Structure 1
C-alpha cells in the first residue's frame, strides 16, 4: 500500500481533482493510502456540509462519503495511468449499517476493500471509523458510466 508514515498521499485539492463531485457536494478531503485492492480516505465534517443536520452528519452523508471513497479509488487508479477517470454511479447497496453519526470537526476515515472488479463494475466492502471506532460499514457496487 502506497503511503509515507502518517503523511497523506493527497490533500483536499488533489483529492477533489480525482472525483467528479464538486463543492459543496464533496464528501472526501484526504487520501491516506492506496493499493490496487484497498484505499483509505478521510473527511472532516463541516457545518456547511450538505448532509449536516441537527448537529450531526446524517446517514445519507455517510453513504455518500463511502461512495465517493470508492470513486476516489477509481480516480487515483486512472491518475496513476495518466488517464481521465470516468464518472461512476452507485449500482446497488447490499447492506449498510450505521452505528453512530459524527459531529462537526470530527474526522472520519473510510477503508474501501475491493472484493471484485469486472467490466466497470466494482464490488466493495467499506468501513468508516471515527477515532479508530467503527461507526458504519457496508457493501456496495459501483458502475462506471460508458
Structure 2
C-alpha cells in the first residue's frame, strides 16, 4: 500500500507537511516516506534538522491514526506532542534523502497515545524516540 495523498490523514498543511507518502498502516504500526526538499522549513545548511525529525515521527503517527479513523468513517483525530523521551539523533540526513519512518503504538492512557518511532535512511538509523501524543478526539490508533 502506498498512499501519496496524505493530507486527508493529517491536520498539517504546507509548509509544515513532513511526510510524502503513507507506505503501511495497521492497528499499531505506521510507516511513511519523506524526502525533505531544499525549501523545507527545517533545512539547516543542507541537512534536515532535529526539530524536523521529531515532527516527521509525530506526523507518521498522525497519518496512521488518520488513516484508521477514515477507514471507520470517522474524522481524522487531532493530536499534539505531549512529551518526548529518549530522543537520539545519530546523524542529520542531507536534504533530498529518502527517509523511512516507522512508529509503533505501545499503548494508550486515556487520551494519550504512546509510541516509539524511528527514522532510517539506507538501512542506517537516523533518529529514534518515544513520544506521548495527546489525542483531542477519542479516536486512537
TM-score category of the 2 structures, normalised to the smaller one:
over 0.9
Structure 1 residues 44-76: Cα deviation after superposition (integer angstroms, max 9, x where no partner): 110111100111010000011011111111111
RMSD: 1.1
Equivalent in the alignment of 2:75: 84
Equivalent in the alignment of 1:25: 16
Moved beyond 6 Å, runs of 4+ = none
Whole-angstrom distance in 1 between the partners of 2:123 and 2:108: 28
Whole-angstrom distance in 2 between the partners of 1:145 and 1:75: 12
Whole-angstrom distance in 2 between the partners of 1:49 and 1:96: 22
Greater RCO (CA < 8 Å, at least 6 residues apart): 2
Gaps of 5+ in 1: none
Equivalent in the alignment of 2:92: 101
Moved more, 42-51 or 117-126: 117-126
Gaps of 5+ in 2: none
Give the alignment's TM-score, normalised by structure 1: 0.90
Map 1:1-146 onto structure 2 (within 5 A): 3=1, 8=2, 10-11=3-4, 14-146=5-137
Whole-angstrom distance in 2 between the partners of 1:29 and 1:83: 23
Whole-angstrom distance in 2 between the partners of 1:90 and 1:74: 14
**How many residues were matched structurally?**
137
Q: Per-residue deviation at 1:120?
A: 2.4
Secondary structure of the structure 2 residue equivalent to 1:79: helix
Secondary structure of the structure 2 residue equivalent to 1:64: helix
| Cα contact 1:19–1:72 (8 A) shared by 2 | yes
